[in-house]
Amino acid sequence: MQFVDKKYEPNKSDLICLFRIEPSEKISFEKAAANVAKESSVGTWTHIETVNERAKRIKARVYELNEPYAKIAYPKELFELGNVPQILSSIAGNIFGMKLLNNLRFEDVMFPEELLEKYKGPQVGLEGIRDIFSVHDRPLLGTIVKPKLGLDSKGHAEVAYRAWKGGLDIVKDDENLSSMTFNTFEKRVDETMRLKEKAEKETGEKKEYMGNITAPVSEMKKRADCLIGKGSNYVMIDIVTTGWSALQEMRDYLEGKDVVIHCHRAGHAAFTRNRKHGMSMLTVAKFTRLIGGDQLHIGTAGVGKMEGGEDKVLRIEEAVESEKEKEDENKLAQNWGDIKKTVAVASGGLNPGDIPELTGKMGRDIVAQFGGGCHGHPDGTEKGAKAIRQACRAAMEGKDLKSSAEENEELRRALEKWER
C-alpha cells in the first residue's frame, strides 16, 4: 500500500492531523511521513498477505508535505467515533516510538462534523459562565489557596473567605490537593462553602469555589455530588492525570446539572513542552473542548512564570474560544459548529501589575488566577485580592496602573513589591 498521495483531497468526513516529523539519519522525509500514516492506520513494518480491499480503502493518506510538517487524512472508518481513547491510540499511539524517527510531534488536529456530533462539548461554556457571575465586561478573577498543602479545612476556608471578601470571584483548590488526612474533601467543602455564602452576603456578589474532585471516576462522582449538594456550580479535574475517558465519563455524568468543569492541565508539559517531540498543548486543548471542558489552563502568553510564548498561547485561545479558527499554512482550521466555547484560564506567577499586559494580549474573555500574587501581598490575602480587583478596574478603563495606585493603597503596595 502507498501511504503518500499528494493528489488526495480530504473529504468532509476525514479526521486531519498535522505532524512535525524529524526522520532518523538516511531516512527521507517522505518515507518517514508515510510510515507515520502507515503505523497509525492499517499498516505494519513488513508485507503481509492479510490485507484486504477494505484496509486499502480506509488507510491514512499523507496528502501534503511541507518539511518538517506533514498533513495526514484519516478516514472515519478507522475510528470508533465516540471513543477518544481509541482515536488517540491510533493517531498518537505507537508512532512516537518508531526508530526511523528522531522526533515526532503531534501539532494540530481537525475533527470532521460526524465526529463532532458524537460529543457534547462544554455544558456551560463562556456565556453561561459569565451569566453565573453576572460579569460580562471584565475577566473573571480568581485565586488558588496557598500553600498548596498544609492548611486544614478551616484554614483553607478562611483563606478563601479573605480572597472573596477582597473582591475575587473564584477560589480554586490546587492541583495536588484532594482529600488529605489533615484536610479531607468533605470537611473542606463544608467549611469553604459556608464561608462562600458569608462572603456573598457581605459583598453582594456571586462567588464560586472550584473543589478538586480528582480521583478514580467512581470517587469523582461522589465528590461532584458533594459539591453540587452544597450549592457549588463548579468541579475541578486534573484531566491529564485522570485521563480522557475520565473527563468523558464525568461530562456525561454531569449532563443537565449545569455544572462547570474546570480542567487543570497538571502533567501536560511532560509531553507538550518539547517543541520537537510529543503532543502540543493546542491538541490537548482541542480534545478538551470537544469532550466538554468548560475552562482550561492554557498559559499566560509570556506573562508570569510558566513556559509558553504569546503566539503559542494565543493560538490555543483561538482554538478554545472561536467558532471557527483562521486558515494558515501550518495549522488546521476547526469549524466548531454548535460546540460551546471553553474559557481560557491564565494562571502561573501572575501579580496585579501583570493585568494590563495580560488582558492586552488575551482579552477579557479569560479567567485570570493569582496564587502567590494574591496571598503574597505585603498586607495579606484580602488586600492582595483588593489590589487585583483595583488593577483590573484600571485596565478595563484604560488607566495607567501607577496613576491608579495613587488612589488605591492596596494596588500601590502590590506594585512596590512586584514591580518588574
Q: What is the CATH number of the domain that holds 297?
A: 3.20.20.110
Could you give the number of structural domains in the chain? 2
**How confident is the model at residue 30, as a pLDDT?**
97
Q: Is residue 266 part of a domain?
A: yes
Final residue of a structural domain among 61, 85, 116: 116
Is there a single domain that holds both residue 73 and residue 139? no
Q: Is residue 411 part of a domain?
A: yes
Is there a single domain that holds both residue 147 and residue 251? yes
**How confident is the model at residue 240, as a pLDDT?**
97
Distance, CA of 80 to chain centre: 24
Q: Tell me the three cell numbers of residue 179.
A: 482529600
- On whether the CB atoms of residues 198 and 162 are closer than 8 A, the answer is no
**How confident is the model at residue 330, as a pLDDT?**
78
Is there a single domain that holds both residue 297 and residue 379? yes
Is there a single domain that holds both residue 347 and residue 377? yes
Q: Is residue 7 part of a domain?
A: no
- Can you tell me which residue has the cell 449545569? 258
Final residue of a structural domain among 116, 138, 157: 116
Q: How big is the chain, counted in residues?
A: 420
Instruction: Give the whole-angstrom CA distance, residue 3 versus residue 41.
Output: 10
**How confident is the model at residue 48, as a pLDDT?**
74
Q: Tell me the three cell numbers of residue 414.
A: 502590590
Please give the positions annotated as active site.
146, 264
**How confident is the model at residue 307, as a pLDDT?**
66
**How confident is the model at residue 169, as a pLDDT?**
98
Q: Is residue 401 part of a domain?
A: yes
- On whether the CB atoms of residues 175 and 266 are closer than 8 A, the answer is yes
- On whether the CB atoms of residues 109 and 284 are closer than 8 A, the answer is no
Residue ranges for the chain with pLDDT beneath 50: none
**How confident is the model at residue 51, as a pLDDT?**
75
Task: Spell out where 24-76 has E strands.
Answer: 61-66, 69-74
User: Can you give the CATH number for the domain in which 52 is found?
Assistant: 3.30.70.150
Final residue of a structural domain among 116, 147, 170: 116
Is there a single domain that holds both residue 92 and residue 136? no
Nearest Cα to Cα of residue 268 among 243, 246, 290: 243
Is there a single domain that holds both residue 80 and residue 140? no
For residue 21, list its beta bridge partners: 104
Q: Is residue 1 part of a domain?
A: no
**How confident is the model at residue 45, as a pLDDT?**
67
**How confident is the model at residue 165, as a pLDDT?**
98
Q: Is residue 6 part of a domain?
A: no
Question: Using only C-alpha atoms, what is the Rg of the chain?
Answer: 23
Task: Spell out where 302-365 has E strands.
Answer: 343-347
Nearest Cα to Cα of residue 118 among 304, 251, 305: 251
Is there a single domain that holds both residue 351 and residue 388? yes
Is there a single domain that holds both residue 68 and residue 145? no
Q: Which domain holds residue 175?
A: 125-418
Q: Tell me the three cell numbers of residue 49.
A: 498477505
Is there a single domain that holds both residue 318 and residue 396? yes
Alpha-carbon dihedral angle through residues 178, 181, 186, 192, given to the nearest 10 degrees: -80
Strands 69-74 and 61-66: antiparallel
Q: Tell me the three cell numbers of residue 380.
A: 495579606
Is there a single domain that holds both residue 99 and residue 186? no
- On whether the CB atoms of residues 141 and 167 are closer than 8 A, the answer is yes
The residue type at 126:
L
**How confident is the model at residue 404, as a pLDDT?**
96
- On whether the CB atoms of residues 284 and 268 are closer than 8 A, the answer is yes
Q: Is residue 2 part of a domain?
A: no
Q: Which helix (H) or strand (E) holds 296?
A: strand 295-297
Q: Is residue 92 part of a domain?
A: yes
For residue 19, list its beta bridge partners: 70, 106
Instruction: Give the whole-angstrom CA distance, residue 246 versus residue 336.
Output: 22
Is there a single domain that holds both residue 355 and residue 304? yes
Is there a single domain that holds both residue 28 and residue 175? no
